[in-house]
Structure 1
Amino acid sequence: MGFGSDLKNSHEAVLKLQDWELRLLETVKKFMALRIKSDKEYASTLQNLCNQVDKESTIQMNYVSNVSKSWLLMIQQTEQLSRIMKTHAEDLNSGPLHRLTMMIKDKQQVKKSYIGVHQQIEAEMIKVTKTELEKLKSSYRQLIKEMNSAKEKYKEALAKVFKITRPWALCQGLCFAKY
């Protein structure tokens, strides 16, 4: 594998991890929302139950006994549990669920930003590897043509020089041979 293909595999792995994390966070968010809804409904049901029992029991209680005291204590504790459940549900909604929602938005923004940067880098890489490489190849081809043209001109000039200097060299050779 080359450097580029390793990076491509890494990019895909990072995207899979980000998708998995987002799905998990969305699942946790749904769970928390259902938990809040359930706790609020439970608290409301407990409060309604206490209100009904309280109305009925206050009408029928003409005397104070241990049983009636226990019954009133049970009603009060159920009302207290109802208030606690409602408070916890509201706290869960305004605290962790809100922060979780913001975290999901941040992760989605980070993923979007990551994808944008990756696309920009990939486009730059394509530009460098393809466009600039093609320019360099074209420039190289042009330089080869110029070199071949210059080589031909050099050979022509050399041939002219040999034509001009060769008879003289022959003449010199003949002239020296006579002496």
Structure 2
Amino acid sequence: MTRFPLPFGLGPDQHVIEGIDYWWTGFSFFALICIYVWLLLLSGIQYSFALFVFIYNGIPLLHGIAVYTVCYWRRASYPYRLIGAKAKLMIEVIPMIVAAAIRVFTDDDRYLVLLLLGCTSYFYTFAHFLHVAYDIGAKDVFLGLSMLLLVHRLSEELLVGASALSFCLCLSFYRYITYCAPQLPIHPTKKELPV
């Protein structure tokens, strides 16, 4: 029998969002705001009524459905896994290089930076909720986003931008070398084999 999600929880003592997931749910609203502002800046003042309804009503509704669905269906379905040192390095390095390239190749870059921040934040959030990145915590998220913004803001002049990008790449490589995998929690539905 399929059990569909209830608006405020699963039962009297079960909730869809528990523990540290409240922080991650709150952080997902940062990604929503970035995408929301990006769409408003992109559309400008002249937009149709359908776009107006979609931006003001559809985007928050889609965000709520996506976060709630991922939290509900994946909450106890799959055990946590580690994303690994190489994937963590790529998650930090690729947005930094894209942020540096945006500043160099485009004149009006405020749209693209908001889109990059929103997509990176969504990636961090959904990687956590899908249980594929237990080794990514709040420190990793804030460091990754701050390095992205630092590289973007300092890329106006070539020498300063190159030194900021080099510093952030060296910091990411240092974190890659000193990576230590955390202990995974025991999955609640995992059965121990009898000895």
TM norm structure 1: 0.27
| Largest Rg, 1 or 2 | 1
